[in-house]
Amino acid sequence: MSGADWLADAVLYEIYPQSFADSDGDGIGDLPGVIAHLNYVASLGVDAIWFNPCFASPFVDAGYDVSDYLRIAPRYGTNDDLVRLVDAARARGIRVILDLVAGHTSVEHAWFQHELNASGPDPLGDRYVWCEEPPAAGWGSDLAGTPAWVRSPGPRPGYYLKNFFDAQPALNFGWTEVDPAEPWRDGTDAPGPRRNVESLKEILAFWLDRGVAGFRVDMAFSLVKGYDGEAAQRRSAAIWREIRDWLDVSYPGTVLIPEGREPRTGQRLAFDADFLLVIYGEHASLFDNGGAGLLPFHPQRPAYFDADGAGSTDLFVGAWEAIQADDPGRLVLLSSADHDFDRLCCGPRTAEQLGAALTFLLTWGTVPCLYYGDEIGMRYVPGSPDVEGAVCNPTYNRAGCRTPMQWDRSANAGFSTAEPDRLYLPIDPDPERPTVADQEDDPASTLALVRRLTALRRQVPALRTRSTTEVLHASYPFVYRRGGTHVVAVNPRREPATAQVISIDTAEVLVAQGLRLSADTLALDGFGYAVLAVRTTAAD
Ligand code: GLC
């Protein structure tokens, strides 16, 4: 079975390891904590867990600054714990996907320390990009609002190129153009870049040998640098193509998921899916209501899944249809939220409004990815403190979506036995905060709805990724038909909404809240949703 085959039918669950479950009372989540909650994860009906980086790190960027790719960070446990976790998950039909930070390391990585402590270039080829003086233009100017070059703290003189924060030096995968005037630009086939590509394969092999099913690749298209950003992305994609060819022979069935959308190069694609990221406008047009601040990446617009009903699905549907037109059958991942921005429950959006969004997420033709805690409606906690690089700028605080999982009403919401001031981040202080325990046996809960929807997705092939998706009514309510046999309708706004789209006599209601069917009219109360089995074709 190819990786894409199982991914197509999967629901993913993203676990932020430091915030899920703390087994040893140090205030930080860990792998044994996840193992202890695997029955819960299985009860959600998910097929794979994606873990954010859990490797040795000084945690300047919450683990996206890796100091040893081959070692689980001691705060999370040991390599053996990861193997135990993979086995225990597999016993429950769940695969494990790790996060590969391919474009940069920590300054504490031995590779960087070696080059930092040298007096000049490594005769085997530099793994990082060093220059004596940053160029005045282009790569000398700005990356994400801060200088791209960081002055070397020595002994090696000069500057190194970073990829994100200063403590994350960019690995050298070469440049799209070389120029004798800028000798620090290696070609992509130079010894340094080649060493790094081979090292990526070794890292992948190391964890695949321990049973993981694949990788989400952080900043996947940032490997090759260039003055023409798009050309550089395409050249990065070529490296992934090479890695995919190697995987197909050595580890067939491995899933590779990029952070973002894979650039089209005319070659066979290297990744198994495109990821319509939370920070992309398409995702934001559905869910981002500004409650987590302003993202610098796209203009703020009303979110479709908000009570005011001022949003539109056009941008999202257009992007999804464009990908399908480019590459029929291409998988597209869509998450409820992720560790880089907000949550489904954010700003003015309340728990009662989540049913429509979750019904959409779990019945559309994308591959759904649930961010831990979204299944109980945990909220983005505004004003959370800046921990491990969570705050990127004053209006961009990622900590609010990274707060500890809320298990029950015991101390620290059951996340940890540590003193509250030792927790990774404070628990949501709201006394009404949702918990797993409160929702566990409540058939009207968000958790129950998620379980019902994932079960339906498993039972009904028409609701999965590879069946057709046709939009029948694009605004409020949003109505679409799956596989010719099922109709889904969601009305995330406060006001009721109706659509003349369906012959109701033959409908079987599988999931519904606030649904009223009469003659040829489908009406949904505010915040309503419905999944119907239909035996007749929908009206135009
Ligand atoms: C990705 C990660 C983010 C991290 C950054 C740098 O965008 O999702 O959390 O800070 O890469 O590695």
Q: Which of 18, 50, 64, 398 to mutate to test ligand 1, by most ligand atoms within 8 A of the CB atom?
A: 64
Neighbours of 478 (CB within 10 A): 30
Ligand 1 centre to CA of 71 (Å) is 19
**AA identity, residue 88:** A
Q: How far is the centre of ligand 1, averaged over its atoms, from the C-alpha of 327 (Å)? A: 27
CA–centroid distance, 457 to ligand 1, in Å, is 30
Name the residue of 66, 146, 219, 341 whose CB sits within 8 Å of the most ligand 1 atoms, as the mutation to test its pocket.
219
DSSP string, 472-490: EE-SSSEEEEETTTEEEEE
Which residues, at least 6 apart from 419, have a Cβ–Cβ distance to it below 8 Å?
Answer: 27
Strands 55-56 and 68-72: antiparallel
Strand order in the sheet with 367-371: 255-258, 214-218, 95-101, 48-51, 12-15, 367-371, 331-335, 273-276
273, with CB counted inside 10 A (0-12, 13-18, 19+), is buried
Q: Are 507 and 517 in contact (CB under 8 A)?
A: yes
Which of 115, 109, 16, 117 lies closest to 69, judged by CA?
109
For atom 3 of ligand 1, the residue with the nearest CA is: 340
Residue 154 burial by Cβ neighbours in a 10 Å radius (0-12, 13-18, 19+): exposed
**Shortest-distance atom of ligand 1 to CA 65:** 12
Q: What angle, 0 to 180 degrees and rounded to 10, lies between the N-to-C axes of helices 229-250 and 191-208?
A: 40
DSSP state, 397?
E
One-letter identity of residue 184:
W
Q: What ligand 1 atom has the least distance to the C-alpha of 64? A: 12
Name the residue of 61, 143, 222 whose CB sits within 8 Å of the most ligand 1 atoms, as the mutation to test its pocket.
Answer: 61
- pLDDT, residue 112, reads 98
In three-state secondary structure terms, 207 is helix
CA angle 454, 458, 462 (to 5 degrees): 105
Residues facing residue 160 across a β-bridge: 130, 150
**Cβ atoms < 10 Å from Cβ of 419:** 11
Let me know the angle formed at the C-alpha of 219 by 214 and 221, rounded to the nearest 5 degrees. Answer: 95
Residues lining ligand 1, judged by CB closer than 6 Å?
A: 61, 64, 101, 164, 218-219, 259, 339-340
What is residue 143's predicted lDDT score, i.e. its pLDDT? 46
Atom of ligand 1 nearest to the CA of 163: 6
Does pTM surpass 0.95?
Answer: yes
What SS3 class is residue 212?
Answer: coil
Three-class DSSP category at 273: strand
How far, in Å, CA of 63 to CA of 367, rounded?
Answer: 26
Residue with tokens 């995987």: 247
- Tokens coding 407: 């298990």
- From first to last of the 540 residues of the chain, give the pLDDT tens digit: 778 899 999 999 999 999 999 999 999 999 999 999 999 999 999 999 999 999 999 999 999 999 999 999 999 999 999 999 999 999 999 999 999 999 999 999 999 999 999 999 999 999 999 999 988 766 655 545 567 999 999 899 999 999 999 999 999 999 999 999 889 999 999 999 999 999 999 999 999 999 999 999 999 999 999 888 899 999 999 999 999 999 999 999 999 999 999 999 998 999 999 999 988 999 999 999 999 988 877 788 999 999 999 999 999 999 999 999 999 999 999 999 999 999 999 999 999 999 999 999 999 999 999 999 999 999 999 999 999 999 988 888 999 999 999 999 999 999 999 999 999 999 999 999 999 999 999 999 999 999 999 999 999 999 999 999 999 999 999 999 999 999 999 999 999 999 997 665 567 999 999 999 987 899 999 999 999 999 765 554
Contact 286, 344 (CB under 8 A): no
3-class secondary-structure state, position 370: strand
Atom of ligand 1 nearest to the CA of 164: 6
Q: How many A from CA of 139 to the centre of ligand 1?
A: 20
Q: Are 25 and 76 in contact (CB under 8 A)?
A: no
Q: How far apart are CA 153 and CA 135, in angstroms?
A: 19
